[in-house]
Amino acid sequence: MGGICRNNSGYKSGRNKKTMGGSKAETPKTYSLRITENALKNFDHITGYITFIRHEPINAVRVGDKILKTIDRIEKNPFAFRACDGISAKNKIYRKAVCLSWLIIYKIESTEIIILGIIHGHRRPSKIRRLGTVK
């Protein structure tokens, strides 16, 4: 099992969330982030294609940065993105985040977010379904 793991230390805000009964400080649940080998290969393929095939290295850096920023957003708030319709699950643990033309498919477990893959948005739905089997 490979990939990259990192812990989210959470974020702190000077403000308290207000609830119906008054003010109550709530700490958001923190998740660790794991990027699978498959997702890393997808990332390398995307940036490599833009750099070497299309001969646009500056654009490759821009796209890579946007994808990494979206992964940071997923880590901070994994439920902010839509459920992934391509992978059937009863409890909607598979989600997708849209970044430019790419979909970042991830799975939410009890304490961990697993980035399964990064695919182009115009790919066949079967490509998305196969990501449900990535470990």
Rounded to 10 deg, the angle between the 37-48 and 57-76 helix axes is 150
For residue 34, the model assigns a pLDDT of: 97
Give the chain's domains with CATH numbers: 31-133 (3.30.2310.20)
User: Which residues of the chain are under the pLDDT cut of 70?
Assistant: 1-27
Q: What phi-psi label fits residue 20: left (phi over 0), alpha (psi between -120 and 50 degrees) or beta?
A: alpha
Strand partners, 120: 102
- Give tens-digit pLDDT for 48-72: 999 999 999 999 999 999 999 999 9
105 with 131: CB under 8 angstroms? yes
63 with 49: CB under 8 angstroms? no
* Tally of CA atoms within 13 A in the half-sphere of 75 that contains its CB: 18
Torsion of CA 6, 47, 104, 12, to 10 degrees: 40
pTM: 0.77
For residue 83, the model assigns a pLDDT of: 92
What's the token pair of residue 103?
Answer: 């979909």
For residue 29, the model assigns a pLDDT of: 80
For residue 3, the model assigns a pLDDT of: 67
For residue 89, the model assigns a pLDDT of: 75
